Amino acid sequence: MTENDAVTAAVVVIGNEVLSGRTQDVNVQFLALGLGELGISLDEVRIIADVEDEIVSAVNLLRDKYDYVFTTGGIGPTHDDITTASVSKAFGRAMIRNPEAEAILLSNYKPEDVTEARMKMADTPDGDDVVLIQNPVSKAPGYQVENVFVMAGVPRIMQAMFDDLKPRLKGGAPVSSRSLDAFIPEGLVAGPLSDVQNQFPDIEIGSYPFVRSGQLGTCLVARSADEAALDEAADAIAAMIRSLGGEPNDPTKPKK
């Protein structure tokens, strides 16, 4: 665990198609929300190319830095799907044809449809501690090795894999958030908001400008696992907004 018993995670998005703009990543948002519900803070995201050295470097750095690391992409049947080979190298292990994964794939295909390219999706790093991540969508599994979870990049498949692995994750207290919108430019909010942050140093407070119907505004978000302190901070933010002549809109305020 890290400081203050916070449980932290990182995501490595692997794929030239994401970097080129041909594919829009939606997995990070899903993982951030899903991990937050488990009391795990997503603290870093990296998007990297299908380059072995880059994958090895990212996995080794992040698995030492965070409690959990999740990779998405690059475990398919094509020549550029090199994630498993790279993760194996990061852990200093041989890459093997995993018998359990192989059995799953062989049961999913007709004998005439079995190809070496498809069976490549049964490869994992060697080791008795490697645990498969089930894939009810297309059957080809992901896998866990130590604190690293290797998953598909296709959103529907990745989400199904995450549902399978969730019971393995141990989080802290779930983090809640309060979001207050106000039609006040961020530049006017910055100074008073710093005072509120100083008043509540243990609450994470962020500001996010927006434009609606041609009018500038700011969304102020407070996050914490302490519900009582979160309510106090939200009340202080609302009071600050009113002091600036605005009226806070708080759709996240719990109903009484």
**pLDDT-derived band at 59, boundaries 50, 70, 90:** very high
Alpha-carbon distance of 244 to 188, in angstroms, equals: 8
Alpha-carbon distance of 199 to 174, in angstroms, equals: 23
Q: Report pTM.
A: 0.85
Alpha-carbon distance of 113 to 100, in angstroms, equals: 19
Per-residue pLDDT of 84-117, as tens digits, reads 999 999 999 999 999 999 999 999 989 999 999 9
Q: Average pLDDT of the chain?
A: 93
**pLDDT-derived band at 254, boundaries 50, 70, 90:** low
**CB burial class (10 A; 0-12, 13-18, 19+) of residue 230?**
buried
Q: Which CATH architecture has domain 176-243?
A: 2-Layer Sandwich (3.30)
Q: Please report, rounded to a whole number, the percentage of residues in the chain having pLDDT higher than 70.
A: 97
Handedness of CA 112, 116, 117, 119 (dihedral sign): positive
Task: Read off φ and ψ for residue 130, nearest 5 degrees.
Answer: -75, 125
59-67 mean pLDDT: 98
Alpha-carbon distance of 86 to 83, in angstroms, equals: 5
Alpha-carbon distance of 142 to 101, in angstroms, equals: 9
Kindly give, in sequence order, each residue whose CB lies less than 8 Å from that of residue 238, ignoring residues fewer than 6 positions away.
180, 248, 250
Q: Over 80: is that where the pLDDT of 256 sits? A: no
Q: Over 60: is that where the pLDDT of 150 sits? A: yes
Q: Domain coordinates of the chain in residue numbers?
A: 3-168, 176-243
Per-residue pLDDT of 191-208, as tens digits, reads 999 999 999 999 999 999
Q: Which of 200, 177, 170, 193 is nearest to 246 (CA)?
A: 193
Q: Which CATH architecture has domain 3-168?
A: 3-Layer(aba) Sandwich (3.40)
Three-state SS letters, 138-207: CCCCEEEECCEEEECCCHHHHHHHHHHHHHHCCCCCCCEEEEEEECCCHHHHHHHHHHHHHHCCCCEEEE
For residue 83, what is the DSSP state? H
Alpha-carbon distance of 100 to 97, in angstroms, equals: 9
> Helix (H, G, I), strand (E, B), or coil: what is residue 208?
strand
Q: Over 80: is that where the pLDDT of 252 sits? A: no
Q: At what angle do helices 227-243 and 186-199 cross, to 10 degrees?
A: 140
